[in-house]
């Protein structure tokens, strides 16, 4: 079943100086229980898409369906009590602490919340739930946002850069928490994050958005199969490695070297070239000796997606 459907979504922002096309006719859908990663460089249109799904924008064109029902994208969604979301504005009640914020939101949106669960998550994230929001650092405010997104038994979690400002240990604890939650409740997760290694572990499907358009949407496993192969080779001598480097440059000029030391090299190569290269490294000798050791991996999500991040100043481009 499709839990979120977005069809031909368009959103322009009009400022005094110019008109910005933030989301340029995008369509996608997310199935129940999917862990969907929504990736792309800053300014690509991720937050705009999320805010449209939540009915937090005006002047949106297109069609959005949530849990099987069409919603008006220019009106706050009636499904707010089914959706865990990190609100942009936590500062509305600066003297409230984390628990009071959760209570406040639960009344506002009719969300039943589980106090023990909130306290447990706060403990794991190392957040003091008794301190007022106004006294908290940016990272700790972000933790309060996470608590509000996880406070109820939601069908859908929409997480827009949930780990921004958190330290690395807390970032991985966060991914552990949502993984456990998703496995327990089979909720649908829609997440934007620049932590590609965590996204790679957590998500089963990803879309990448760039300049307001979706440029890739695929299962992680498929992406990795058709993505570049990473070869790590070890030679007995530096002379062997140097001979190999010359061979690589002449036979496979498209290979990209990631690292190189005295007798080791790591590089990426297209899947089509894999077979020929494998043949040669097992048959050929380099400076009189066979290769000492080798390892082949699918390239990481980071390698696959880095090319989409390589744009300068996307905000300036448009
Ligand atoms: N309130 C706004 N007014 C004008 N332009 C905006 C506004 N919000 C976002 N934008 C512009 O829309 C584009 C998409 O922004 P956004 O959806 O926030 O991207 P992302 O979340 O992927 O970083 C950017 O060019 C951004 O500058
Ligand atoms: Mg954003």
Q: What is the distance between the alpha carbons of residues 240 and 255, in angstroms, rounded to a whole number?
A: 18
Tokens 């000798």 correspond to: 285
Provide DSSP, 50-73.
HHHHTT--SSEEEEEEETTEEE-T
Ligand nearest to the CA of 308: 1
- Contact (CB, 8 A) for 2 and 53: no
Q: What is the distance between the alpha carbons of residues 129 and 143, in angstroms, rounded to a whole number?
A: 10
Examine the domain organization and report whether 111 and 168 are in the same domain.
Answer: yes
| Residue where a domain stops, chosen among 172, 196, 219 | 219
Examine the domain organization and report whether 177 and 240 are in the same domain.
Answer: no
Measured from CB, residues less than 6 Å from any atom of ligand 1 are 13, 15, 20, 22, 40, 42-48, 315
Examine the domain organization and report whether 207 and 256 are in the same domain.
Answer: no
Q: What is the distance between the alpha carbons of residues 261 and 236, in angstroms, rounded to a whole number?
A: 12
If pLDDT is split at 50, 70 and 90, which confidence band does 101 have?
very high
- Quick: pLDDT tens for 290-302: 999 999 998 888 8
Q: Residue 91 has what pLDDT?
A: 63
Examine the domain organization and report whether 20 and 127 are in the same domain.
Answer: yes
Examine the domain organization and report whether 165 and 275 are in the same domain.
Answer: no
Answer whether residue 307 is part of any domain.
Answer: no
Mutation probe of ligand 1 site: the residue of 11, 20, 53, 161 with most atoms within 8 A of C-beta: 20
> What is the domain count for the chain?
2
Answer whether residue 311 is part of any domain.
Answer: no
Distance of CA 76 to the CA centre of its chain: 25
If pLDDT is split at 50, 70 and 90, which confidence band does 311 have?
low
Which CATH number covers residue 201?
A: 3.40.50.300
Answer whether residue 209 is part of any domain.
Answer: yes
* Average pLDDT of the residues in 245-266: 95
| Residue where a domain stops, chosen among 219, 245, 267 | 219
Can you give the residue range of the structural domain that contains 235? Answer: 228-298
């Amino acid at each position: 079943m499709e839990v979120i459907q977005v069809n031909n979504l368009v959103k322009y922002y009009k400022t005094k100086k110019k008109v910005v096309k933030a989301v340029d006719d995008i369509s996608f859908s997310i199935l129940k229980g999917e862990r969907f990663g929504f990736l792309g460089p800053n300014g690509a249109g991720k937050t705009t898409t999320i805010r449209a799904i939540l009915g937090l924008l005006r002047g949106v064109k297109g069609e959005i369906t949530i849990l099987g029902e069409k919603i008006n994208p220019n009106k706050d969604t009636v499904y707010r009590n089914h959706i865990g979301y990190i609100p942009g504005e936590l500062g509305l009640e600066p003297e409230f602490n984390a628990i009071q914020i959760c209570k406040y939101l639960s009344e506002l949106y009719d969300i039943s919340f589980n106090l023990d669960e909130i306290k447990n998550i706060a403990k794991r994230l190392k957040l003091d739930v008794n301190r007022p929001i106004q006294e908290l650092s940016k990272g700790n405010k972000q933790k309060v946002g996470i608590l509000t997104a996880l406070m109820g038994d939601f069908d859908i979690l929409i997480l827009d850069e949930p780990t921004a400002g958190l330290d690395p240990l807390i970032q991985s604890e966060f991914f552990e928490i949502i993984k456990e939650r998703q496995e327990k409740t089979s909720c649908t997760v829609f997440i934007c994050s620049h932590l590609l290694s965590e996204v790679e572990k957590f998500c089963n499907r990803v879309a990448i958005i760039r300049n307001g358009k979706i440029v890739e949407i695929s299962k992680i496993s498929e992406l990795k199969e058709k993505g570049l192969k990473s070869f790590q080779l070890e030679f007995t001598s530096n002379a062997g490695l140097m001979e190999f480097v010359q061979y690589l440059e002449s036979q496979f000029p498209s290979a990209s070297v990631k690292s190189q030391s005295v007798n080791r090299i790591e590089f990426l190569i297209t899947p089509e070239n894999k077979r020929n290269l494998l043949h040669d490294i097992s048959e050929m000798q380099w400076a009189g000796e066979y290769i000492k050791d080798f390892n082949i991996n699918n390239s990481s999500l980071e390698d696959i997606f880095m090319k989409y991040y390589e744009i300068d100043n996307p905000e300036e481009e448009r």
